[in-house]
Amino acid sequence: MRDHDPHGKSLERLTHQVLRRLPAHRAPASLEARVLREIERRAALPRGRAGIAQWPAAARVALIGACAACAPLVWVLGRSLWPHLAAALAAAGVAPWVADAHNTGRTLLSLAELTAHLVRLIPHEWLFAGLIVAGAVYAALAAVTYLLLSLTLPHLKAHQV
């Protein structure tokens, strides 16, 4: 349901009329050449340097799947190969470093287990509310940063080619 003003014209119609009266803005003469140059430059990049966003969707999904599949494999191999690696490094004369690294790994693993245990104790509603609050705070900080940058650095253009 739209509200109409007393004269029968809608806000949309008034806005359209005002915008039609404004002069048309012309793009700079050099814009087309700059855009075409940038397109050619990006097309000339090898596929691996063009960035993952330029990859076909199937390749991106395959890469993410491969990374996800490799994570447990690396974990298992690391756990099974660690004693052999530690023995080889100890034989090479770096036993203190190996012991420190092993103890650090155990400490980090204990910390991860403690964190997982604490997260399981927190009610799910609190976790979701915390995620929402964290997202809202992040969005607010991003907005304030953008506002401060746009006020302090007005000469910078966001869409330069």
11-57 confidence digits (pLDDT tens): 888 888 888 888 888 888 888 899 999 988 888 877 656 677 777 88
d(CA 75, CA 24): 61
Output the pLDDT for position 157.
53
Comparing C-alpha atoms, which of 44, 75, 48 is closest to residue 63?
Answer: 48
Output the pLDDT for position 133.
93
Output the pLDDT for position 99.
67
Output the pLDDT for position 1.
46
Output the pLDDT for position 122.
85
Report the predicted TM-score, pTM, of the whole model to 2 decimal places: 0.29
Tokens linked to 59:
């390749």
Buried b (16+ CB within 10 A) or exposed e, 28-53: eeeeeeeeeeeeeeeeeeeeeeeeee
Comparing C-alpha atoms, which of 20, 16, 14, 21 is closest to residue 5?
Answer: 14
Name the region of 55 (left: φ>0; alpha: ψ -120 to 50; beta: rest).
beta
Q: Whole-number mean pLDDT of the chain?
A: 79
Confidence of residue 160 (pLDDT cuts 50, 70, 90): very low
Comparing C-alpha atoms, which of 88, 86, 89, 87 is closest to residue 103?
Answer: 86
What residue spans define the domains of the chain? 31-94
Comparing C-alpha atoms, which of 53, 33, 54, 57 is closest to residue 43?
Answer: 54
Q: Taking a C-beta distance cutoff of 8 angstroms, is the pair 34, 28 a contact?
A: no
